[in-house]
């Protein structure tokens, strides 16, 4: 599946209405990535990085331009189809990781698999394997509150990969971590990415993370340089 991973973004623009007029946040952004490729998006605060990531994650739609993921235009889908598409094709790793506090580590990793009904036994096997890969085999029954920040981020990475998505979107994945932990999480994310052939796009202020990805583009005034 991942061998066919493809992301094509053409001329995407997005504006927000403000009291005075409209604010153009993205201005003709284009991108073309295939399986195994990785891209760091850098840029000052307010330059539109999160807006772009939300559009790529199909959580928000562009005003103009098009997005194709694995050959499909997700914005042509019905809301229900879109939710299923997002769940199958896209994994999210956000800075504040959004783990559910009442669920154990393995239950959190299985959340995306739950959207399809009861998780299949192969989902459990895959979740266990991923938790092993991120070094948390002995923590699968723990609650998020019993983990460190770096460990929680590793749970979020395992959760993002459990559905074998084509695309992983990370918004400041190491932003809340100390330097050493951040480096370890970066290394882990990249080794899992190269193993699985998933496309990785990370928004980051970290030069270490940006340098570790294959490509680096800067967002400035809504344009991707």
Site residues for ligand ADP per CB under 6 A: 16, 23, 25, 43, 45-51
The binder of 16, among ligand ADP, Mg ion, none, by C-beta within 5 to 8 A per type, is ligand ADP
- Identity of the residue, 50 or 181, whose beta carbon is nearer to ligand ADP in the bound complex: 50
What is the closest distance, in whole angstroms, from the C-beta atom of residue 180 to ligand ADP in the complex? 26
Q: Report whether 68 contacts 144 (CB < 8 A).
A: no
Return the number of the residue (43 or 112) whose C-beta is nearest ligand ADP: 43
Q: For residue 197, report the phi and psi dihedrals to the nearest 5 degrees.
A: 75, 10
Identify whether the C-beta of residue 70 lies closer than 8 Å to the C-beta of residue 6: yes
CB of 170 to ligand ADP, least distance (A): 13
> What is the distance between the alpha carbons of residues 87 and 225, in angstroms, rounded to a whole number?
30
Strands (E), the chain: 6-17, 22-34, 38-42, 64-69, 90-94, 167-171, 199-203, 215-220, 223-224
- Rounded CA-CA distance 117/119 in Å is 6
Binding residues for Mg ion (CB under 5 A): 49-50
Give the nearer residue to Mg ion in terms of CB position, either 136 or 203. 203
Closest contact distance (angstroms) between CB of 71 and Mg ion is 28
The residue among 67 and 188 lying less far from ligand ADP, judged by its C-beta, is 67
- In the chain, the largest separation of any two C-alpha atoms, in whole Å, equals 55
The least CB distance from residue 172 to Mg ion, in Å, is 7
- 5's contact among Mg ion, ligand ADP, none, with CB below 5 to 8 A by partner kind, is none
């Amino acid at each position: 599946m991942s061998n066919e991973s493809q992301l094509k973004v053409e001329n995407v623009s997005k504006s927000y209405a403000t009291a005075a007029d409209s604010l153009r946040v993205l201005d003709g952004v284009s991108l073309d990535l295939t399986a195994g490729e990785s891209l760091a998006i850098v840029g000052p605060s307010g330059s539109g990085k999160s807006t772009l990531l939300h559009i790529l994650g199909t959580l928000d739609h562009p005003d103009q331009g098009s997005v194709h993921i694995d050959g499909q235009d997700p914005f042509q889908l019905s809301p229900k189809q879109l939710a299923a598409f997002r769940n199958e094709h896209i994994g999210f790793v956000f800075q504040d990781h959004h783990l559910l506090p009442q669920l154990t580590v393995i239950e959190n990793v299985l959340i995306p698999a739950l959207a399809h009904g009861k998780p299949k036994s192969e989902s459990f096997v895959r979740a266990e394997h991923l938790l092993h890969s991120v070094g948390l085999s002995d923590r699968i029954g723990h609650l998020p509150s019993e983990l460190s920040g770096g460990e929680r981020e590793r749970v979020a990475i395992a959760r993002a990969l459990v559905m074998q998505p084509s695309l992983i979107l990370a918004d400041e994945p190491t932003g809340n971590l100390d330097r050493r932990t951040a480096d370890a999480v970066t290394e882990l994310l990249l080794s899992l990415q190269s193993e699985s052939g998933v496309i990785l796009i990370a928004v980051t202020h970290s030069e270490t993370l940006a340098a570790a990805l294959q490509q680096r583009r800067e967002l400035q005034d809504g344009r991707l340089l």
